[in-house]
Amino acid sequence: GSLLLKSDGFSRSRGPLPLMLSAVGVETVIGVWISSFINGLAVTESSLTLSIVLGPIQIIGGIILGTVMAFLFTIAVGLLRNEAKRLPNGDFSEAHLTNVNRLSLVIFLISAFATIFVGYKYDLGGGACVTVMLLSAITAHLWSKDGDPELLEHKRS
């Protein structure tokens, strides 16, 4: 599985660490979903049927919402990046790219925390975790897949 992900472009770095980190994310989501399922049965008085039905709905809904959020986030960051005029050499200024990175990090964190908090408010914590994990993975994949030299160079510095 990890070699297939690497061949699809999910890890451009050397070594197994990036692939191990993505596997940890999947295991964490599964653990949160299982604990949410058990919590729903043991602590709250929800029915077994409702808990069983909500499981796949949370996973499928999390996949769909995470994918949509990742594409919207990527588009928003691209719009922010293209707000500035390019320098005569065709590049963006270093200060502009740094500010875009900081603002995109803030937007990403607010989106992730809001998704988790809203998910737990409506007892959909497992789906919210799936959403945030896919938001992270798909966004990272879209950014590294393009091989944008400006982005990759700024990431290294």
Q: Which residue's structure tokens are 């994918």?
A: 67
- The per-residue DSSP string of 46-110 comes to --HHHHHHHHHHHHHHHHHHHHHHHHHHHHHHHHHHTTSPPPTTSPPPHHHHHHHHHHHHHHHHH
Q: Is the pLDDT of residue 131 over 50?
A: yes
| pLDDT tens per residue, range 85-94 | 776 666 777 7
Residue 6 has pLDDT above 60, yes or no: no
Question: Which value, in Å, is the radius of gyration of the alpha carbons in the chain?
Answer: 19
Of 150 and 129, more confident? 129
Site of tokens 């990742």: 70
pLDDT of 30 over the 70 cut: yes
